[in-house]
Amino acid sequence: MIDRTDFYAAKLTYETDASDVHAALKAGEELFVIDVRSDEAWAQGRVSGAVHMHYSEIAVRAPAEIPADADVVVYCWSPGCDAGAKGALEFAKLGYRVREMIGGFEYWVREGYPVEDADGVHRRPVDPLTGIARVRTRA
């Protein structure tokens, strides 16, 4: 039987969430965020600064575009989508340090982080069920 602490330590090695990815990017950590969804989903909006690489293209494109020693985070649409796991598997087969962003793009948006589309970078309102809406006050 696997020890519970080993299980959760391993889980955190392979998964991350929108909040931690946003914090890492904001802190200037070198992190390759990869959107593994379809072209149509990418066009509707994506994590600001993400690279679009459908999971079926990773085996060919990643070695040419992503440094072998890079920290990689993949995401798909939502918790109801397994494209992120498919993408993470493809990166893992190539030997990359890869984590899947649980909650996917859905939770990135719901937590109010920057979203990019053809019109530029936007922030959507924070969903109070998933993030903390901060009220700005004047001093």
Q: Which three-class secondary structure string do you get for 90-107? A: HHHHCCCEEEEEECHHHH
pLDDT exceeds 90 at position 67: yes
Contacts of 35 (CB under 8 A, 6+ apart): 41, 42, 46, 47, 50, 51, 52, 53, 74, 75, 76, 105
Per-residue pLDDT at 45 exceeds 90: yes
Q: Which two tokens stand for residue 111?
A: 């937590």
pLDDT digits (tens, 9 = 90+) for 73-99: 999 999 899 999 999 999 999 999 999
Whether the Cβ atoms of residue 62 and residue 90 lie closer than 8 Å to each other: yes
Enter the tokens of residue 123: 């922030």
pTM: 0.90
Q: Which of residues 1 and 109 earns the better pLDDT score? A: 109
User: How high is the pLDDT of residue 47?
Assistant: 97
Domains of the chain by start residue, with CATH: 13-114 (3.40.250.10)
Strands 15-17 and 120-122: unpaired
Quick check: 56 pLDDT over 70?
Answer: yes
Average confidence (pLDDT) over 57-68: 98
pLDDT of residue 134: 60
* Residue-wise pLDDT tens digits, 1-33: 778 999 999 999 999 999 999 999 999 999 999
pLDDT for 135: 53
